[in-house]
Amino acid sequence: MTMLQLAQITLLVYAGLLLVGGIIGYTKAKSKVSLASGIGSALLALGGYGLSLVHPAWGIGLAGGVALGLTSIFLMRLRKTGKLMPAGMMFGLSLAMTGWISYVMAHLAGL
C-alpha cells in the first residue's frame, strides 16, 4: 500500500467520523448546526478524497484545508466551553489529521 492510498483511506475514515459526529450532536443536543456542519465537513472531506483519485496533491490539499479549518474551530470551542467532549476530541482528531496530511503532502512533493 502506498502512502497516497493510506492517506485516502484515512481521509474516508475522517469523513465518516465527521458525519457521525454531526449526527450524534443532533441526536443528543438537537443541534441542527452540528448536523449541518458534520454533513458539510464530511462532504468536503469526501470531495478531497474524490479529487485525490484524479489529482492527488489537490485532493489531499483540500482535505488538509478542511482539517486545518476544523482544528481552528474546535480549538475555539474548546477554549470557550472547556469541555473535552465533543470539542476537545474533535480538536485532537482534526489536529492529528492536519499533521498527517502535512506529512503526506511533503511526501508527495518529494521533501
Instruction: Give yes or no for residue 3 having a pLDDT over 90.
Output: yes
CA–CA separation, 62 and 2 (whole Å): 19
Q: How many C-beta neighbours within 10 Å does residue 58 have?
A: 12
pLDDT tens readout for residues 70-110? 999 999 999 999 999 889 999 999 999 999 999 999 999 98
Instruction: Give yes or no for residue 14 having a pLDDT over 90.
Output: yes
Residue type, 33: V
User: What does the DSSP 8-state code read for residue 1?
Assistant: -
Q: Give the pLDDT band of residue 111 (cuts 50, 70, 90).
A: confident
Cell of 80: 470557550
Q: Are 57 and 105 in contact (CB under 8 A)?
A: yes
CA–CA separation, 17 and 23 (whole Å): 10
Mean pLDDT of 12-27: 96
Cell of 52: 485525490
pLDDT tens readout for residues 29-74? 999 999 999 999 999 999 999 999 999 999 999 999 999 999 999 9
